[in-house]
Structure 1
Amino acid sequence: MVGVRRSLVMVVVAAVLAPLALSGCGDNKKSGAASAAWVGNGASASAAPDASQGASQGPITESANVPIELTVTPAAGKKDVPTSAEIGFQVSGGKVTTVALKDAAGKDVSGALREDGSTWVPAKTLKAKTTYAASVTATTDSGLSKTATTTFTTMGAPGKKTGTGLYLFDGNTYGVAMPVVVEFSPGIKKADRAAVEKRMFVTTTPAQPGVWSWTSSGTQAYYRAKEYWQTGTTLKVRIAVGGVPTGGGRYGDRDRAATAKIGRDLEMKVDNATKKMTVTQDGKVVRTALVSLGRKSKPSVSGAMVVMDKLAETVFDTTDTDGAAGYKTKIQYAQRITWSGQYVHSAPWSVGSQGRTNVSHGCVNVSPSNARWLFDNTLIGDPVTVTGTGSKLAYGDGWTAWNVSWSEFVKGSALPVPDSLK
């Protein structure tokens, strides 16, 4: 998980490098728009360069007296290199100005320099069982240069993979509380998270530095800034974990990427004391709705949640978990806010209790007209905050990135977090 915004400096291959910014009331199953983002164990690959790969000293473009020391990784002739390999280099007496990578057919491979200039990252996972040739040129202030080259061969398709999912769709518009959510199956153990997080890149326009934070199980990682995203923000995400060693002999199944927008600032706040929801847009109250929350035996949770899924019509079926005590009911205008099955939804049967008494199985019940208005006006990623129920939201039960303080959130990063972001 990235302890700070990890971006890539995009460069034209073989060109000069210029550092640019590179059991509730519903079911407890993942469904709809959220689960549709999940893609199971596919095939592909990516990984971070290993120090054990050694270094290759190539020819120089000037005389042997050029005052530059330059080594490149992976080492010359290295085999079984992960398909996520980055071109690494150690340089003194100058700075790297050109990186070029070609495949076995001599075709240029595009890529980007990390923001800190430490390595060059291919724009896509490399092909399996393929030989690549890389060259890196460093130049002094006076214009002298030295070039080091290397060739290496990537590994074959791994036998075991870690499935991945990115809950962000290319071209979609989301609410201001939409975290970047990445899912792993099986979960990533603590010892392996840093290497994986280092390959998860987020760029925000306008810039809003953020941090990655992992759930305790390692099955999800969230990326957010200190405050909600600014309206109009563009999120550009690349989860470049294809082929990255993820522990236990597994490798990430594939790279994933999306570019999405953040829309208007619409927030829903539910107060159990008043049994009322207040909806604001850009700071102004635009709707109020009476609610009925979870009864004493099935309490609603209090916490900062996010709309994860929207279903115009669905069926809540709890018979598989509650047996004879369960129920199967058609529901309209359902908006999921937890994995455990709590929703905001239309409940015509509880209109008489809304604003007065809690009678639901944990969901936020609203009238049909209010439910329809909410459904028509909300986005995935809009924040829903519930207070006063006495039952706390569990971290990871939904997209809970906002349910902890910023100081607590950054503790979940697997990489060091700069003091400026703590």
Structure 2
Amino acid sequence: MTMGRRATGTLRARRLAHLFAATAACAVALALTGCAGSGEGVRVEGPSAIPETHARADAETDAETDAETGAGAGTGGGGGTEAVDVRPSPSPSAAEAFDGARVNIAEGQTVGVGMPISVTFDRPVPEAERADVERRLKVTTDPGTEGSWSWVKDRDLADGQRVDFRPRAYWKPGTKVTVQVGEGLTRHFGVGRSLIATVDVRRHTMTVEKDGSTERVPVTAGAPGMETWNGTMVVSDKQPKVFMDSRTVGYGDSYADWYSYAVHLTASGTYLHENPKANTYAGRRNVTHGCVGLAADGTAKRFYDQVVPGDVVKVTGSAETVAVGNGYGDWNLSWERWKDGSALN
């Protein structure tokens, strides 16, 4: 099934030589801080879990890939049929929006079932141009998948700089996806096995459902006044070590240290990571500054080793729900509200 559209006009593919670095995932983290806050206190050690191919969007290279694979024709998901969209070329202003456009998923990457496709732009797209821009976005899946684009106010970007695609329900494991952005930028990726972790902050437990099996893990979450965000979050990346500094979020000298096996959940700095305090309090009491802590007895490493970007972490029993644009909070909207965010709805 094919969702979204892409023009077949004669507009030249422009070269998109903007870096969205291998260090981009690290650069994202550099703008973040430790537990549920924002600032400049996070440093990372070791390579990001986001592949290096995330770094570049090169229209000429992608155009060549389209020519070799036939992706530009718009292959329908599942049936192998071709659906060619014949439309006028986009207006000059809408076409310019794709100069410097970036996609959050690397070429050939395997992601978890919750990963949205997120396209960001160098400049805000005015409301009057959004429908035209959306028509130049195309998602093809095998098997067919119901989904929709929706404009998201990103925590760190201006309104109109981000549009996301998500299915009605989580991706089906094994789904193959092609996304085309404007005239030249294409990404092919796959959906891996399903992993959904549910953190119950009142019971101090995390239930991990993976490939039909269930495991319960003791955790410690945000202490009163520093509660972990409620709602559904999606893993954006993970790092073997992250340095967190409490001074950047107004928590004084509470912590300034490296934390291991850090699974990144929100743009405001929420992680699920190894925390020595969890050795004592996991399963018993919430004592963190907003992150979810796992014990250093191998529990944190075991969870870290099986997680991939796009896996789902749901938090229940807490207070405020994470914003849609704070990382990938897309799943916190109902399907109807999500579709309402499309300029074509």
Please report the TM-score for the alignment, with normalisation by the length of structure 1. Answer: 0.61
Q: Distance in 2 between matches of 1:36 and 1:296?
A: 39
| Separation (CA, whole Å) in 1 of partners of 2:123 and 2:89 | 26
- In 2 relative to 1, CA 203–360 (structure 1 residues): closer, same or farther, beyond 3 Å? same
Q: 1:232 — aligned with what?
A: 174
1:277 aligns with 2:206: yes
The answer (yes or no) to whether the contact 1:8–1:115 under 8 Å persists in 2 is no
Query: For the Cα contact (< 8 Å) 1:183–1:219, is it kept in 2?
Result: yes
Equivalent residues of 1:26, 1:318 under 8 A apart: no
**Residue pair 1:194, 1:414 contacting (<8 A) in 2 also:** yes
Separation in 1, partners of 2:52, 2:241: 16
| Distance in 2 of aligned mates of 1:202 and 1:9 | 13
SS at match of 2:209: strand
Matched, 1:315 2:325: no
Deviation at 1:116, TM superposition (A): 6.5
Q: Does 1:341 align with 2:341?
A: no
2:222 matched to which residue of 1?
Answer: 294
Separation in 1, partners of 2:211, 2:51 = 29
Counterpart selection for 1:360 from 261, 275, 288: 288
Letter in structure 1 aligned against 2:145: Q
Q: What does residue 25 of structure 1 align with?
A: 35
Q: 1:163 to 1:385 in 2, by over 3 A?
A: same
Q: How does 1:168-317 map to 2 (within 5 A)?
A: 168-216=105-153, 217-240=159-182, 255-285=184-214, 287-317=215-245
Task: Tell me the percent identity.
Answer: 32
What letter matches 2:3 in structure 1?
R
- State the 1:328 CA deviation: 2.0
Equivalent residue pairs, number: 290
Show the 5 A alignment for 1:52-63: none
User: Is the counterpart of residue 372 in structure 1 residue 301 in structure 2?
Assistant: yes
Indicate how the Cα distance of structure 1 residues 281 and 207 shifts in structure 2: closer, same or farther if over 3 A, else same: same
1:219-274 deviations in Å (ceiling 9; x for gaps)? 32111111111111001111126xxxxxxxxxxxxx43211111111110111121
* C-alpha distance in 1 between matches for 2:181 and 2:98: 15
Q: Which residue of 1 aligns with 2:86?
A: 118
8 Å contact from structure 2 (residues 242, 262) kept in 1: yes
CA distance in 2, matches of 1:183, 1:37: 17
For residues 11-56 of structure 1, give each alpha carbon's deviation from its aligned partner in whole angstroms, at most 9, with x where no partner exists: xxxxxxxxxxxx651664798456977769x8979xxxxxxxxxxx
Q: More strand per residue: 1 or 2?
A: 1
- Say whether the 8 Å CA contact 2:6–2:137 is kept in structure 1: no
Decide whether the 8 Å contact of 1:112 with 1:120 is kept in 2.
no
Q: Which amino acid aligns with 2:331?
A: W
Distance of aligned partners of 1:170 and 1:326 in 2 relative to their CA distance in 1, 3 Å threshold: same
- In the aligned structure 2, how far is the partner of 1:325 from the partner of 1:273? 27
The alignment partner of 1:5 has SS state of strand
CA shift at 1:366, angstroms?
Answer: 0.8
Larger radius of gyration: 1
> Which one of 328, 331, 334 corresponds to residue 405 of structure 1?
334
**Using a 3 Å threshold, how does the CA distance of structure 1 residues 215 and 35 change in structure 2: closer, same or farther?**
farther
C-alpha RMSD of matched pairs (Å): 3.5
1:350 aligns with 2:278: yes
Deviations 1:153-208 (A, max 9, x none): x99x98x9864321111111111111111122333232221111111111011111
Following the alignment from structure 1 to structure 2, what is the Cα–Cα distance between the partners of residues 24 and 314?
8
Say which SS state the counterpart of residue 121 (structure 2) adopts. strand
- Distance of aligned partners of 1:326 and 1:194 in 2 relative to their CA distance in 1, 3 Å threshold: farther
In the alignment, does 2:260 pair up with 1:332?
Answer: yes
Equivalent residue for 1:48? none
Asked whether the equivalents of residues 5 and 135 of structure 2 are also in contact (C-alpha less than 8 Å), the reply is: no
In the aligned structure 1, how far is the partner of 2:120 from the partner of 2:264?
A: 18
Structure 1 position 218, deviation (Å): 2.1
- Going from structure 1 to structure 2, the CA distance change for 1:200 and 1:207 (only over 3 Å counts) comes to same
CA distance in structure 2 between the aligned counterparts of 1:25 and 1:37, rounded to whole angstroms? 29
Structure (1 or 2) with the greater helix fraction: 2
TM normalised by structure 2 equals 0.74
- Other structure's SS at 1:348 match: coil
**Aligned residues of 2:6 and 2:85 also touching (Cα < 8 A):** no
